[in-house]
Amino acid sequence: MKSGRWARNLVAVAILFVLFWYLLGALERELQRAEEQSANMVLSQLRSALVIKGAEVMLDRHASLEEEEGLNPFELIEHQWGTYSGQCAGDIPEPGRWCFREWTQKETVKQGAGWLIYNPSQPITIEGRQVAADEPMAWRVTAEFADRNGNGQREQGERITGLRLAPVQLTTEPAATRGGTP
């Protein structure tokens, strides 16, 4: 009798352990999916705000889209973001947070220009790019142009069409050593 009860209890504990293990895996996958959707939603809203800002600049005869390069796109939206930390306090934000890192200021660098940085709290896929936890990603507001020859470089005959959020390689090297550009 005692050995039968002991065996049943052992089987029950083993089944509970397997179910608990499966539940933790499912919870981790859902957290990963939620963080991916959140990051992609933020990027989508920032891109929409840049489309509007680009249209406003194009309608203003005294402004140019090149002057808007490097701006902080979070400032274009009046929403209070729970995951946005404002100016980066260090090199990268806390896991699961966004921040804006200004370039090192020089006389030739526009005030307030820089990178938008996101530090995922777990491995996720953003815009088709898989990143590990604590592997920050960066974007920069750039002027979009009609690339007629497809070389990715803006040439004299290619006109600027708007603003876009372009992924950039995040470096910890100070901007002053790179001539003030990211």
Give CA–CA dist 76/51, Å, rounded: 11
pTM: 0.76
Pick from 131, 44, 134: nearest CA to 93: 134
- Show pLDDT as tens, one digit a residue, over the chain (182 residues): 678 888 999 999 999 999 999 999 999 999 999 999 999 999 999 999 999 999 999 888 888 888 888 899 999 988 788 889 888 888 888 899 999 998 765 555 556 688 899 999 999 988 888 888 888 999 999 888 877 777 777 777 777 888 999 998 876 544 433 333 44
- 8 A C-beta contact, residue 161 and residue 145: yes
Pick from 111, 90, 86: nearest CA to 100: 86
